[in-house]
Amino acid sequence: MKTQLIPGVCEITQCGLPRAGKRLLIEIPHGATERSHFDALASRLSGVYPAGLEKFFHVNTDVAAPELASAIASSPALEGVQVTIVRSLIPRTFIDCNRVTNASPELYRQGKVTPATADYVQHPSDIELVHGLLQQYEKLTNEAYHATCGEGGVALMLHTYAPRTVPIQSVGNDIIDQLEFHYAPERIEACDLRPEVDFIHKTQDGIELVNPVAMKSLSTEIESQGYSVSDGVSYPLHPSTAAYHHALRYKGQTLCVEVRRDLLVHEWRPFEQMEPSPERLAPLAGAFARGLAQWLELN
């Protein structure tokens, strides 16, 4: 296993040698999951930011996604497959690596996603800095998609999400007040529980951009481990997201997946750094690996 670190931007890890051209890319656009990632970028910014912003970071980053990706890549089911993992180190608290940056506020709302940059990112030098980091990430990920999907491989866009959908209206200076209000014990249990695993594979118009046979193989393997799999109920593949454009460019060769974070950590604590549980990761990682191996056989 070989890892290339681009400080403050991403880690690119590669393992295995391809057999008959079999390649798998796992992209983690919200891979900045450690408090040190937040602190490193925050220390470079000049603007004034909401007090307690680290709480938003912890509840809004894809906890356990990097560990799940590593466990998938290490599975015996993927022997003979070259696996590349691209993990973003840019906290989405400041700029989101799964967004297009020129979308209108209305387009983000249509896609049911937060904007590329939050309203509290206002200082000109901060905007220039985070957009520069995103451009570096985009260049490297585009190269990785081309090297994998352009050579007949497949890509898994791996995400994790908080257990419940919280009705945040906007991401501005009052974001911590909103979070603390909605996460109060008497309110959070009333929020909708998200699917355990959700495949994000259809556009707003219902057009599928994934090989349905491959998706069925993955679903069967994941469900065999006792998890429920949903059919894109959380949100669509939308033009305001980078995932949509990767899926459109390499139609039938990518799949965007959300996994509920509370299923992957020792204890769900929304406003703190959480520790992934290897024991909880293992069955899901094995299921993903077996399903991905079957998908690669189709290509």
DSSP string, 185-224: HHHHTTSPBPPSEEEE-BBTT--B-S-HHHHHHHHHHHHH
161/17: higher pLDDT: 161
Q: What is the pLDDT of residue 108?
A: 78
Specify whether the CB–CB gap between 148 and 247 falls below 8 A. no
Q: What is the pLDDT of residue 299?
A: 73
140/21: higher pLDDT: 140
Look up the domain containing 229 and give its range. Answer: 2-298
Amino acid at site 8? G
Distance in angstroms between the alpha carbons of the first and the last residue of the chain: 24
**Stretch (H or E) spanning 85:** strand 82-88
Q: What is the pLDDT of residue 16?
A: 80
| CATH code for position 63 | 3.40.630.40
Return the axis-axis angle of helices 175-182 and 53-60, rounded to nearest 10°: 60
- Of 20-24, 57-61, 119-123, 240-244, least confident by mean pLDDT is 20-24
Q: What is the pLDDT of residue 20?
A: 63
**Stretch (H or E) spanning 5:** strand 2-6
Look at phi and psi of residue 166 and say left if phi exceeds 0, alpha if psi is from -120 to 50, else beta. beta
- Residue 292 token pair: 């991905």
Per-residue pLDDT tens over the stretch 28-48: 999 999 999 999 999 999 999
The CB density around residue 269, as the number of other CB atoms within 10 Å, is 14
The CB density around residue 102, as the number of other CB atoms within 10 Å, is 8
β-strands 2-6, 10-15 pairing: antiparallel
Q: What is the pLDDT of residue 71?
A: 97
Number of domains present in the structure of the chain: 1
- Residue 45 token pair: 């910014």
Helix (H, G, I), strand (E, B) or coil at 11: strand
Please, what is the Cα angle at 297 between 293 and 299, to 5 degrees?
A: 120
Look at phi and psi of residue 206 and say left if phi exceeds 0, alpha if psi is from -120 to 50, else beta. left
CA-wise closest residue to 74 among 239, 280, 275, 285:
285
The CB density around residue 168, as the number of other CB atoms within 10 Å, is 16
Distance CA 241, CA 209 (A): 14
